[in-house]
Every structure is written in structure tokens, then in C-alpha cells.
Structure 1
Amino acid sequence: MTQAPATEDVLKGLMLLALDGDEAAYRHLLKALGKVLAGYYGRRLTGGAAADVDDLVQETLLAVHARRATYDRARPFTAWFFSIARYKLIDHLRGPGGRARLQVELDETLDSGFSEAALSARLDVERLLDTLPERQRQLIRDVRLEGQSIADTAARTGQSESAVKVGVHRALKALADTLRGET
């Protein structure tokens, strides 16, 4: 397998293949997760914590292996994965002298191109989009989230450009109403 960037789609795809018995995909997943974890823990532990980072990476990979059957295929993989990593870090920091090794850098992102904050925001957006009818949900994804043009979306869906614009406008209004607590 070639080295792909560690994105949600790539990691989830590898996990799904691994759950279906693909050993090569599982090895590739663990290798990719090891790199993500090294950066994740490395930014949070200071000083002479390189050995701690290696230990945490190994402990987390073992936990992922042990808990892989609990992964819900319908949910984002990275949310599940980072919850395990976060708990391992908390357990580590609760140990002797752990708090002195902690360095929280809230504005840093992971080397692989996404952050916990971005992942959390994405999950919030997905939950919000789930309140819309499928047609409106897809228009918002295409035009607002993926940046497709109105013309391209209209051509792909078989709608007029005006219908796409109206659909996006109504979907955004429905989302705003939902956020305000209106039905």
C-alpha cells in the first residue's frame, strides 16, 4: 500500500477493511495511527518525555486493537480513536509527576491535517445536517461544505440553478431556525 495522508476518510476506510479481515489494511492503519499518536502526544508532553510518548503510542495502539470490535461503523473513526488516545493521556498524566509533563497547545493541529477541534466541529455540523431532509442536506454539503458551484450542482442533480439556490437558501434558513430552537 502507498502512504496516504491520515485523514478521516483514509483512516476509516482502513479500519473498515481491517474489521472485514484485511490484514494488510490493519498493518497500514496501525502504522498511520502510530504516526498520528506520536505527534499528538509529542505536543502534549514536554521535556524528556520521548520515552513517555513511545509508551503512550504503544499503549494506545494496544487499546485500539483490544477495543476494535466496539467501533461503530456508522460513526467517524477519528472521534472513536481520539477518545481512546485522550483517555490514555489522562491516565498517564494522573501518574507520578504527570501534570508537570503536560503542555497543552490549543491552537496546534495534528500533523495529518486535522485537529480535535475541527473534528468536533465537523461532528456538530453533521448532527445539525441530520435535521434536514436528504435533498437539502446534500445541497448544503455540495455547495457550502465542498465548495461546488451552483451550476455544477444543478447539472449533477438535474435541477435548475435557481432551484439549487432556493434549496440552499431554505436549508440554511432551516438550520438557523434549528440553532435558534425554533421548529
Structure 2
Amino acid sequence: MLALVRGRPIVHPTETRLRALLLSGMDGDAVAYRTFLAELTRYLRGYLRRRIPQLADDVEDLVQEILLAVHNGRHTYRPDEPLTAWIHAIARYKLMDFFRARSRRESLHEPIDDYLDIFAAADDEPSAARRDIGKLLEQLPDKQRLPILHVKLQGLSVAETAQLTGLSESAVKVGVHRGLKALAARIRGLA
């Protein structure tokens, strides 16, 4: 931690200790590096618990992700820069990734408690709709059908779909757009 007093930097003892351990570890001292990771783990737990107290179960997973990022990126650390600022930047990025992934997952889940009456009667409409969508999708070329299937129906990301299908990410986006447009035109023609 770096603070300024009368325009001069005051270095926090945690900064000094962690920095010395990391630099020793980068010079080949395995014991110092293990100690660095252990002390950084405690530091990160406190940092994350203060930021996401309502998500205490996720703290350990995030700590591990940040430690892995620090380990994998340790060669990018510049010794003339504050270590904790570098670690905080990594932690913030991992925290933002966590929130993005969590919001994506949460948007897929709607609490069922509000809709218990949905089980009052059986309905085969979803299976009929699934069959109809399947028939409509079969009429599309693969470069439109596969992106719609993976991105819109299975919930994969554009990047995951591109990797799975061998298409570029932009081709996946174009395929989804054109495919949905073609499906809409066919549905309008059926109505």
C-alpha cells in the first residue's frame, strides 16, 4: 500500500513484505515464493470478503483465480512499481469477470416459487414448439443453423461457438443475425 505524507510516499509494511517475498521467489527461492503465496492468500481473502460479503462461498474460488493469475503473470511485474497496485488490478479484473459470469448465470435462472401454479396442468406445447423450431432450423444452412443452435438455444458464447464450429466470431454473429431473420420470414410466411 502506498500513501503520501507531505508529498513523499509511505510504504505499508504489507507492501514491503510481499514485494520482498515475490522478488526472492522470482530469483529462485521456493520457500520465499510459497510464503508469498500464503501471505497473499490471507490478504486477498480479506480484500474480497470486504467487497462481496454476501457471496462468502465464492471468496475461495476467487482467491484461487487471482493467485493463479498472479502466478502466471508474475513475469510482467515491474519491481520499480508498487506490488499491491499490480495485485489489486489483477483482483479487480478477476472480480469483474466473476460478476459478469454470475450475472449471465443468474439471468438464466428465474425463481420458480412465484410460478407454482404452472404445475397445475400438463402442457405439451413446449415439446411441440421445440419440434417446430427443430423443423425450421433444419431448413437453414449450417452457417446459420449452428450459430443459432449453440448461441441462442444452448447459451454458449460467440467465442465458444466459433471454436466449436470452426467459424470466425464475426461469422457466428452474422450467422445468428441472418438465421434469425430467415426464420422470422419463414414464420411470417406460415402465419
TM-score (norm 1): 0.48
**Higher-helix-fraction structure:** 2
Instruction: For CA contacts below 8 A with separation 6 or more, give which structure has more relative contact order.
Output: 1
TM-score (norm 2): 0.46
Larger Rg: 2
**Higher-strand-fraction structure:** 2
